[in-house]
Structure 1
Amino acid sequence: MTEPSIIPASEQHTATIIFLHGLDDVGKTWLDEFNMFDIPKRIRHVKFIFPTAPIINISKNHGTPMTSWFDVYGFDESAKEDQEGIEKASQLLNSFVEDEIKNGIPSERIIIGGFSMGGALALHTALVSPHTLGGVLALSAWLPLLTTFPNALVAGDKKVNLPILQCHGNKDLIIQINRARLCEENFKAMGLKEYIFKEYDGMDHTNCGQEMKDIIDFIEQYLPKRD
């Protein structure tokens, strides 16, 4: 597997963000995006890790090999899901979390997140992880294996306080807004107290300046600087 792209903390490292790209992309794309919006300059105590997914054959794209966290059969809620691949990728993401914990960063000071399937994987991982995380950033994403929740929740009482920022454009033609709203309904039904859903008018399957500002606010709120 390719080494992740990393932006080290520029002050004392007291928190970490692990952010996953979408289908057929690489970690450096999002490193560049975070740099473009000056997020590491604004939040200097945080280390940013942008892993790159392995290359696998994608069923939806007629078996074409591309970087992907798991196989994809379709993007609407009725599509078959690669449960084994999602669970394996979730273990991989959890291993990045555990590396940070070994390096002295408490799990509550680690936010995981991602765009599209990367955000989907982050949501799933945060809910089933044995660790209580600092939060989740889910951009243009969905909650995979929806029917396995809430039974799949690990340490359910602590997950109720898991901060989640879910962002979605209402003109997204790949992961349609209705799928994101379905996730919103499910998260609220699970009783998550720190769940925020933000919808961006006119945004398609991409990101925008307002969304990146909302991400900065979320990070500053849930990973505040510590002396």
Structure 2
Amino acid sequence: MISLKHPLQCMCGNNMSLPLLAEAVTVSGTEKETAAVIFLHGLGDSGHSWADAMTAIRLPHVKYICPHAPRIPVTLNMKMTMPSWFDLMGLSPDSPEDEAGIKRAAENIKAIIDHEAKNGIPANRVLLGGFSQGGALSLYTALTCQQQLAGVVALSCWLPLHKSFPQAASASGNRDMPILQCHGEMDPMIPVQFGAMTAEKLKVIVNPQKITFRTYPGLVHSSCPQEMAAVKEFIEKQLPRI
């Protein structure tokens, strides 16, 4: 079975959006919350592991929201039912993709952004992030979002429906959105070459000067303290105290 979840041991339609938010793990700020990070886990995982990771790098004025993906049958894993943002048929750039599922999942994440805006945190103070399948969804959502977001953290992932870009981003307000992309050089699931190809594609879609692609020697399909330090630094830069 393919597992694209974040290994804990390595860490030192809109109708669904409200349940997604209601059941999400939220790490509250320790002072007035003026910004939010929405972070999406990988296949077969839950929001809990990344809520723990976000707690370790938290900033006092930022709220961290880690939703749980719905449980659906996943083609890649012999139709086994598991937490997954959308169906996965394969892990190569030419694999068929669940276009309807990807677009539906993106709308659900956009609805969470809208909910935060209604409660006082505007879209330009919201940063999207994710690991593996969650990172893929965060990239797609941000690049097709009409509101201007603070940035994206994309860990060990790829750009879904990559052949539909840059046209798919034509109505987006995120041409100048900063993107931090990180990848382990020894990743056996999503090879680092796929990450590099994604970075090159992103440079065609958004301002290439806003793309940062970092790789980590020896790192497999996981995260490491150095990567999380880079994530914290990126969040601090894009979501400064008001």
Letter in 1 for 2:32: Q
Correspondence for 2:115:
99
Query: Which of 23, 27, 39 is the aligned partner of 1:7?
Result: 27
Indicate if the aligned counterparts of 1:26 and 1:53 stay in contact, CA closer than 8 A: yes
> Is residue 206 from structure 1 mapped to residue 226 from structure 2 by the alignment?
no
Letter in 2 for 1:39: I
Correspondence for 1:52:
68
Query: Which of 49, 53, 76 is the aligned partner of 2:92?
Result: 76
3-state SS of 1:80 partner: coil
Instruction: Kindly provide the CA deviation profile for residues 177-227 of structure 1, in whole angstroms up to 9, marking residues without a partner as x.
Output: 11111111111223423111011111000000000000011001000011x
Indicate if the aligned counterparts of 2:186 and 2:192 stay in contact, CA closer than 8 A: yes
Correspondence for 2:182:
167
Indicate if the aligned counterparts of 1:76 and 1:176 stay in contact, CA closer than 8 A: no
Correspondence for 2:57:
39
Take 1:52 and 1:17, find their aligned partners in 2: how far apart are those partners? 15
3-state SS of 2:86 partner: coil
Specify every segment of 5 or more residues in structure 1 that has no aligned partner in the other structure, as ranges: none
Take 2:178 and 2:203, find their aligned partners in 1: how far apart are those partners? 12
Take 1:34 and 1:9, find their aligned partners in 2: how far apart are those partners? 11
> Is residue 88 from structure 1 mapped to residue 108 from structure 2 by the alignment?
no
Indicate if the aligned counterparts of 2:71 and 2:81 stay in contact, CA closer than 8 A: yes
Indicate if the aligned counterparts of 1:53 and 1:67 stay in contact, CA closer than 8 A: yes
Take 1:185 and 1:106, find their aligned partners in 2: how far apart are those partners? 30
Take 1:208 and 1:191, find their aligned partners in 2: how far apart are those partners? 27
Letter in 2 for 1:76: S
Identity of aligned residues (%): 42
Cα deviation, residue 9, structure 1: 1.1
> Is residue 17 from structure 1 mapped to residue 48 from structure 2 by the alignment?
no
3-state SS of 2:116 partner: helix
Cα deviation, residue 154, structure 1: 3.8
Cα deviation, residue 150, structure 1: 0.2
TM norm structure 1:
0.95
3-state SS of 2:168 partner: coil
> Is residue 115 from structure 1 mapped to residue 135 from structure 2 by the alignment?
no
3-state SS of 1:73 partner: coil
Cα deviation, residue 155, structure 1: 3.5
Correspondence for 1:178:
193
**Residues paired across the two proteins, number:** 221
Correspondence for 1:134:
150
Cα deviation, residue 76, structure 1: 1.2
Instruction: Kindly provide the CA deviation profile for residues 143-181 of structure 1, in whole angstroms up to 9, marking residues without a partner as x.
Output: 01000000000435x422101000000100101111111
3-state SS of 1:203 partner: coil
For the aligned residue pairs, the C-alpha RMSD in angstroms reads 1.1
- After TM superposition, the structure 1 stretch with the greater mean CA deviation from structure 2, 147-156 or 7-16, is 147-156
Take 1:210 and 1:12, find their aligned partners in 2: how far apart are those partners? 28
Letter in 2 for 1:179: F
Letter in 2 for 1:91: E
3-state SS of 1:159 partner: coil
